[in-house]
Structure 1
Amino acid sequence: MAAFPPLVRSSIEEAIARAPALLERALDHAAAALEEAAESGAVFQRRDWRDAAQELRTGRSAWLRDFAPQLRQVLQQDHAPRGPRIHPSTLTLVDDDTVQQSIESSRLAQAIAGTLEQPLAELDAVMSAALGLEAITPEANPLQPERFTTALRNVLATDAAPGRTGLWMRHMARPVGDDLVAIYKAASKSLQRAGVRAAGYRLVTGAAPLMRESQPLPLERESRAAPLEPASRPSPLQGAAPPAPTPSGIGRWLGRALEAMPGPLLRDFLNGTSGPRLPARQLLDSSWDDWVAQELAQLEASEDEAPPLPVQDEQRHAHLPPLERPARVVGTGTALRPEDWGRYAAPRQRSIARSQARRQAREVGQVVGVEVVRQLVEEVARDRRLPAPVREAIVALEPALARMALHAPRFFGQQDHPARQLVEAVAERSLRFNDEWDDGFRGFLAPVRASFNALNGADAADGETLFSQSLQRLRADWSRADEAAVQRQDQVMQAVRFAEQRQAEAGRIAWDLSHRSDLDGAPALVQDFLFGPWALVLAHARLAAPAGQVDPGGYLAAITDLLWSVKPAATLKDPARAFELIPRVMLKLREGLLSVGHPDEETAQFFAGLEQLHRPVLKLRARLRKQALPPPIEPSPELAQRLAPAQPRKPAARADLWLAPREVRALGFEEAPGSVPLAADGAGPQRGEALVDAIAQGAWVDLFAKGRWRRARLVWAGSRRSLFMFASDGGEPHSMSRRSLLRLVQNGHLRLVDAHPVVQRALDALSTAQAQPLAA
């Protein structure tokens, strides 16, 4: 920190001293929020959220120890402007760690930006002066929120499962924001008490004036005039329309400002932190009205574009598997089907609606808000994770979104705004489908189309209310559609949880049985039967019976008789008892195995061996009754060895979860075929193991099951990750062992679906895009 003046170093040290308290409150708040969410969240999320909360409490002490040193390291780094950043839209299935860290950190910084706007602006001013700068330079402030969120993310990411850090940080915004407000106010006061006088903003005449919001926008000097747009990129004011007239006055300045919108300026505008670089409350003048009027006149004088190809032509690829169909290109200039979207199917009509919204604008921020809508719609339309009809629907909704921007220019930066939530909810819901020709998808799309068309035709004055009502209606429809699937999934989940609980109980029972004194001399075959199938029978009976029963079914008492019956030295001394006891034992064994649905073939060797062990006393009974026994079946050498008297053994831990055939059918259990050829895009063994270990509950996948590709979600993974259950449309279960899942991954028959929130991903992409700087 030697490069900073002493006063600035003192402010930094004070912030570092407050860091552990900031983190402590953030951890406690996030853990409580996750536990609360788990109580009311979806079934498939509850366990994951509880685990996330517990992990926060477990890692608390180590993180509190490491946070201050990590923050110091981040604050000491060189914060000069960086080179080009990776565009999030180009990320592959598994994001690069550096890119993911940047996105998670920036999301938290964006979430707290509104809370910090005023205290951060004050600190920027005094910090710039303390650094000896002539004008306010926010990026020079070493205590920018991004530095804190980066340090926080670095600490939390230590040994965290994929996706876990982002989940934690989403629940930390309020305490982190509140603590940073206190840190910024304390730093500002400390510098002011030391005699630092806040710096001011520097006026810049030219292509990108820097000004206070209270000042009028200056006209750009003709001597420094430059083209409104580079030849390699279309104008953001233009859309799909003919070339717009050359603006002048405020129109020229604003046109160049919009040209700089992709990138950090867009993010800062949505966060309300663009300040004098883009004064949102600055009134427009007549030059802007004249320009937009000319642009609108040109659009109205042109003709609508030709409609797209008929539906039959789009269906020419419907016979292909969903993952092999060529993706349709969709954008704000795409012509849509008039039968679906009415007059707004034509790009020209959407451009007219956009220009009409600009003409109604009275302030700079309203124009910028309309442009943000256009850019965001364009970015979402390029997101090929979404089915093409959903991307078209969002393109068609642009007129309603543009009118919304006149009333709330920054609404896309507000996670709780109903217009943003509607777009996000529709996009998120569409991730359930990978086939636009599927009946389920068509049933989903029809009400969405009707809702979007109604919003396009509604009165803009009631925009926020109408978006909220549309969202509520769609969610109500989705909830009703999900009821049967949720009920089916709950039943399946109860079955799989019972099976896992039974397995754990069987393990405890087997361990207790291994300490019985009468195991001594019992053949290994019999001991293994007791530790395996019979322990499952005992566990099943205990879990299924009312509480308080000591030996439900009498299956525990049968063990004493079984162990006595397999020791010929004992049975031949008391043949009368053996004659009476052996049939009863055999009947009880069959009854117990039948109670859990244990298949006969899995115990066939045990009963064959048991017959060999009982044969001496059975021969004696046959002799007394003057009957002949069937000739014995000579046991294999391996079986003969397991029939010999043995020392007491210990149960081996079972690697997989035992399921009865009826449970296998109920859970949709399927084994992946072993002879499937390796697909070109399949994962190698090492990457396959890593993916199987990392796939989180709630993750969406494309799964090739029962002869076709399905979009499914991981709803359960066993505690040892030896069994996995996915659910596809309608709640249909698809369960598989780890071995089968790994084979699917390696053969390219299971592929993760990137389910990052669509709107936030688009904002990340636009915020990190490279753009012409606004300030000269």
Structure 2
Amino acid sequence: MDLKPTTTDHRRLAQLARQRFVEGLCAGLPALDNRVHEFLTELMGQTATQREMQQRRDAWMSYQAHRKAWIELVTRAWREALLPQSATAAMPLDGGLELVGDDVVENKLLASRIALTVVEHVGAPFDAARQRTQYLEGRELSGRDVLRPETLCLRLVEPWLEAGLKREDMQLVLDPLQRQLGELALAQYQALARLYDQQGVAAAEGLRALVRRPLGTGASRHGALGPDSGGATLGRETPFPATLVAQPGAMPAPKAGARPGAAGLANPLAYARQRAQGVMVQLRRLLTLPLTGGDMAQAPPASPALVHALADERVAADLYYSDMATLVEDYSPQAVVHVAQVVRERAAEFKKKAGTASEKAIIEVVALMFQSILSEDRIPPAVRVWFARLQVPVLRVALAEPEFFSDLAHPARQLIDRMGSCVLGFDASAIGGTALETEVRRIVQVIEQYPETGKRVFELVLAEFEKFLAKFLTERQSTSRIVSVAQQVEQRETLAIQYTIELRNLLKDMPVRDEIREFLFKSWAEVLAMSAVRDGPQHADTVAYKQAAVDLVWAASAKPNRADRTRVIQQLPALLQRLRQGLVLTGVTGAPQDAQIKLLTDTLAEAFLSKTASIAQEHIDAMARRLANLEDFISEDMLGDMPLSADNIELLLGIDASAIHVIADNGVPVPEDVLAWAQRLPLGVWFTVDHNGASAHVQYVWHSRRKQLHLFAAMDGSSYLLQLKRLGAYLQAGLLVAQEEESLTLRATRDALTKLDANPERLFE
């Protein structure tokens, strides 16, 4: 018998289900605790390096001391999740703006990683439990709902740190921990299903049609699509908000705490592509153009009358540009309304010339797409007027190349998306007469007058626009200065790593004392790098610092004969003075500098009295020759992760770095696909960054040659310089979110489909 209780009964049953779910989880915590303890015990018995064995021993001892507190805190955290949301202090997971610190971000990242394995265990049972609970309550589960795997995992991670355990130790036991948790959660979701079955709640299969969700919180303001005629439902519930994009590099991050699907959490970017492709597939079905093995069929030649009409438009464009010098362009809102009407009328004329239903459909879709673009009031009128002139060139491409309707990376789409994403951040008064507006106008003119009519012209101007952006976005004086410093920061850090590697190679077989090695590797490599960046690798000071490294190695070796000891005594004052000068260059002064110099002088004194053999002179000479031209031998192939310090900004050029927010890597692991995503972000896109509780509207304006540093500039002159892994972490955590959750042409495609879904007859009128 189906359950038909009152609304209160529904909610009581859902809450009872949560209580039994949590109590079942809490009952399984001792087994989870035992599994973690057994794993650490087994790990201690395995052979490894001394450092790793010590780490494992420390982790085991720490867990012994704090395991009871951790289990108690997890139990309390899970039970507190049952309280009304207003009564609990749980961290919001819904992706809204939050006052968050590094620890919060790192906790979410670690919890997300654990949730991945949990979701793999519980995917289908969780979906069934979620849908049936939503049916009972008449609303979706909140981001903080205890039934969500990510909530369970976050409330497992936070107590670990509260109990006094280290995050690194949890990384150590991650594999057994997440697998055991997955098995425990699976058993409870299955128990939840049995409870619902006993109470007569409809099965999930019967509820899918009832539990529907719009395309996402960031969906187009024009509305969401319903199911297409082929059965693909774009409005179905999805693991992430509908983050639809038209190019791989422009993908915004999923909101922090968005419910991950089994594949979605592992690769949200791939999932976003899949969602975007769904819109394109629906469009292709609507146009009834066949697909063959994933490749588009070759389009038939356009009807002669239509070809003639398109040629007339080409001639009209040539005449327009020939008279352009005498024209006064109208970029008023009224002009935008006028060109939108021209787009509509032009489409109607073209459809009269079309010889097939397919041609009429293509003409209508392209016209609707441009109507949507022209209605986007966040694009300045001066740009929308020029976008309108692309209707005919795009129509030519769409008629000749059906892949325009399925290829998210088609150059015609990419060009419009790139230009649109850049100008969305400007108001009409800010962009009028700027180099950006001039470049948009130039590109449109090139496309309209280019001899070829295919995608080749779009490929060429897209490449030109990317080059233009790279220069335009950094022309502002404040930004260009920061870029200059950031480039030097990367160069300095790169050289420091390279110098360290080379010094290690040079000293590998030399009897050099550990104190000298450490000083050269940790301190003097920084001096060499700083001097090379500021003055050049062959500047007199840089050469002198290189020679000081050679002299220090020689002076620190044994001096068994009187002549060598005399030479050391004579050279030591000048050497120590040079060492102090170098340390000042990297900001080491006062007591820290004195401590380093004292350590060196004590080491030199011991070497002075040593009776052991000295370093052969030919080795010293070889080292000097190598250091003198070190830049000829080092390469980026040697590099690992590049460190970054906020102090480097002011040290390099002595500028005030108060307006630069330096967000350096902090050791938090970031998945490789997220790093790849970060490296593909296109310049010019606008984002909202949430840094230390403050939110800012920023534009992505620059990345370094190795894409290790990335600069985002705000309109108020402040800047955010992020290192690669931290950029990935911000994207993944939803602390850096693209202003537009879908690209301009994809949103236009969706708007067109919405109109056609309501009135499909217009395709063939």
TM-score normalized by the length of structure 1 = 0.40
User: Which is bigger in relative contact order (C-alpha 8 A, separation at least 6)?
Assistant: 2
* Rg larger for: 1
